Amino acid sequence: MHYPIYVFRHGETVWNAEKRAQGFLDSPLTEAGRAQARAMGQALAKELQGSGHALASVVVRASPLGRVRETLALAAEAAGLTHDEQCFDPRLREMSWGEWDGLTGPEIEARWPGAMAARRLDRWTYEPPGGENYITATARAQAALDDIVALAVERPVAVFAHGAIGRVLRGLFLCVPEAEILDMDQPQDAFYRLHRDTAARIVSHDPD
């Protein structure tokens, strides 16, 4: 790989603020989330300028879910990125919680007593009813990453995705153990530059 891959998570959503699982379902960005998206775009433009890469050279790949579309639109406007409908890849969707999508932890516990505790004991293989586990999500993430890495041979790539699937993409790129992937952060005010077997965290807001 000759060029960097930038991995973003969408900005804060209404359901993030309410601590609801989203998975394949959606909720709009909050005002804070919209500000995060614009800040990520500005930080990406600065990062590319500093590294000598032209914005016009960046290829975008993104989850097709609404919260990512909204984030991408705001970030792209702030950065001057161009993209079209061809950039959306369903393999970059968030992990599905199945019947848990849209529910809070207490709501899940009320309907499936003990299920959340069981998942905490084996987060990698546990599969919510009708949902995915990390094994399934990793398979599609690997396929998407293979294509992204192939693109990065010729151009920088900006990937707009989600918390869990973003962790998986970073972990696969770095070839780290499953436990380390599960412990990775899921920032909405920072993004990651993947390049030459390393992942650099780039803060996208003014620390002041």
Query: Which residue bears the tokens 């016009």?
Result: 56
**Alpha-carbon gap, residue 64 to 45, rounded angstroms:** 23
Strand partners, 159: 7, 61
Q: Three-state SS for 197? A: coil
DSSP helix/strand/coil, 82:
coil
Which of these is catalytic: 12, 47, 70, 94? 94
Q: Which of 10, 83, 162, 195 is catalytic?
A: 10
What is the 8-class DSSP label of residue 86? Answer: G
Q: Residue 59 — φ and ψ, nearest 5°? A: -100, 140
Annotation marks residue 205 as catalytic: no
Distance in angstroms (rounded) separating the CA atoms of residues 129 and 12: 26
Active site residue 94: yes
Residues marked as catalytic: 10, 94
